[in-house]
Amino acid sequence: MSKVLFTPGPTNIPMEIREVLGQDLIHHRMADYHQLIKDVNEGLKRIFDTKNDVIILTSSGTGSMESTIVNLFSNGDEVLVINTGWFGQRFIEICTVYGLKVHELAYDWGKSYELNDVKEILEKYPEIKGVFVTYHETATGVVNNLKALGDLTKDTNRLLIADCISGMVVQEFHLDEWGVDCAVASSQKGFHLPPGLSFVALSDKAKLSLEYSNLPKYYFDYKKYLHYYEVKSEQPFTPAISIVVALKTALDGLLNQGLESVIANKVQVRKYAEEKLANLGLELFIKDESIRGNVLVPVLAPENINASKLTALIDERYNFTVAGGMGSYAGKMLRVGIIGEITKQEIDLLVQYIKEVLPECQK
């Protein structure tokens, strides 16, 4: 029996994509691959809602996060990181490694940022060149308002960089309209592909910044990728060919269904899962419904329940894999991923399994 992944990525891979992944390889320097790159680039532009080409990196999402820093900034640059959880902290760590001066706005897990705080710090530190934010914070399920931040930065020299790794596809997103300058995503989340690819979309303002960055880069050099796209319709280094081929199938499916329909379906599934899990006695972690994302449903276990044991038992007995809490919420939280093709029937089964193992998970 295959595992059902109630995780915020990787997801279960749909059969039509698995079939494509099993096909013979094509070569990444030949005409058929060149056409493939043109096709997937057009599809990704529609996903990101941008007029500019989208870079495809062979890396995990964290690689794409690092790539934004080495391509857009220089040693000593001042940046603001809006930290609403685990992956906001990751931006801080990468910026620090590369010698950027980080101003941090940190918020309690389960909360979004306060716009007035952002305005105040940008006024106080006029040398800030970039604002980093996580669109959907995978550790907490919180969605941060990107459009409001874009309104602050779009008519300035500052760049808005958004980690959209888990939020892309299942959350509304408009790079050009919202004034986002750089957004990153990856294959194993809303695209329902294996891990291995990440995607980077740039505004015209961000592309100008590429000329001024002095941080070291080779594999992640955006200018190489953009040049190869323009001249050859390929990538500068050997890509994960099978996943790129499968990406075409994934994009066709998403765009044929329509992103509005995809998102509406996810909202329905999320609300259904919230209701069922709450009825079981699990506490919804995010109190403000307006900032709940469509990637996962985070719930707190009762104080007398070991959530880590609960997820382990469900995985071992029923092949249902549920993500646990991160950081200080390890052993206390379930992060019930719905970003995959999760059905209401599967949610009903999960709730049944949780109910069955709860008595064994008391501390």
Q: What's the alpha-carbon Rg for the chain, to the nearest Å?
A: 21
Peptide bond into 10 cis (omega under 30): yes
Tokens matching residue 56 = 């495809």
Say if residue 29 carries a ligand binding annotation: no
Neighbour tally for 126: CB within 10 Å: 9
Tokens matching residue 24 = 């013979």
Q: What is the 3-state secondary structure (H, E, C) of the chain?
A: CCCEEECCCCCCCCHHHHHHHCCCCCCCCCHHHHHHHHHHHHHHHHHHCCCCCEEEECCCHHHHHHHHHHHHCCCCCEEEEEECCHHHHHHHHHHHHCCCEEEEEECCCCCCCCHHHHHHHHHHCCCEEEEEEECEECCCCEECCHHHHHHHHCCCCCEEEEECCCCCCCCCCCHHHHCCCEEEEECCCCCCCCCCCEEEEECHHHHHHCCCCCCCCCCCCHHHHHHHHHHHCCCCCCCCHHHHHHHHHHHHHHHHHCHHHHHHHHHHHHHHHHHHHHHCCCEECCCCHHHECCCEEEEECCCCECHHHHHHHHHHHHCEEEEECCHHHCCCEEEEECCCCCCHHHHHHHHHHHHHHHHHHEC
User: Is 217 buried (19+), middle (13-18) or exposed (0-12) by CB count in 10 A?
Assistant: middle
Helix axes 31-48, 222-232, angle to 10 degrees: 120
Binding residues for substrate: 335
Binding residues: 335
